[in-house]
Amino acid sequence: MTDEENISIDDQALADEWAAALAEAGDADQDEIDAMLAQTDSGPAKAPMREFPDSPVQDEAPASLDGPNLDVILDIPVSISMEVGSADISIRNLLQLNQGSVVELDRLAGEPLDVLVNGTLIAHGEVVVVNEKFGIRLTDVISPSERIKKLR
């Protein structure tokens, strides 16, 4: 059996499609194709460098939910969490924790909780009970400009 006999009908159809596409392109000869390949083999094309200002342009206008651009992102889920406090302990003490252990946090009783969205502080609040479930009443919402300052 020769190699030509091993070519399947699908392979032949694919080869015919490529031949037709190359015939349509027909203007480029092999030397031009080799020259283009040699240019791309030398490395990726370098894009011109642009300089950006050190400080972002700040719009004084408040963000609105009316714009069509926000419709795309309004249904994206985010993770919201409330942080009562935190503590740093050694692994030795962590391994000794068991039922009934008490971990002292860095917050005083009655101090507001932090409300975090994807790990970014956006507000402070207090614990409330709503329909026999815990909730949080926001007492202080951090402004967008303050949030941006904290990111830097």
Per-residue pLDDT tens digits for 71-124: 778 888 989 999 888 899 999 999 999 999 999 988 888 889 999 988 888 999
Span 21-52, pLDDT tens digits = 766 666 556 666 666 666 655 555 566 666 76
Task: Say which residue, 140 or 39, is predicted with more confidence.
Answer: 140
Q: Which residue bears the tokens 């309004």?
A: 74
Q: What is the pLDDT of residue 94?
A: 92
Q: What pTM value is reported for the model?
A: 0.46
CA-to-CA dists, residue 106 to 50, 84, 85, 111, 135, angstroms: 46, 9, 6, 10, 21
Over its C-alpha atoms, the chain yields an Rg (Å, rounded) of 32
User: What is the average pLDDT across 135-140?
Assistant: 90
Query: In Å, how far are 45, 101, 103, 133 from 127, measured between CA atoms?
Result: 56, 23, 20, 10
Q: Give the pLDDT score at 46.
A: 60
Nearest to 79 by CA among 112, 36, 122: 122
Q: Determine how many CB atoms are found less than 10 A away from the CB of residue 29.
A: 8
Residue 145 banded pLDDT, cuts 50, 70, 90 = confident
3-state secondary structure of 108: coil
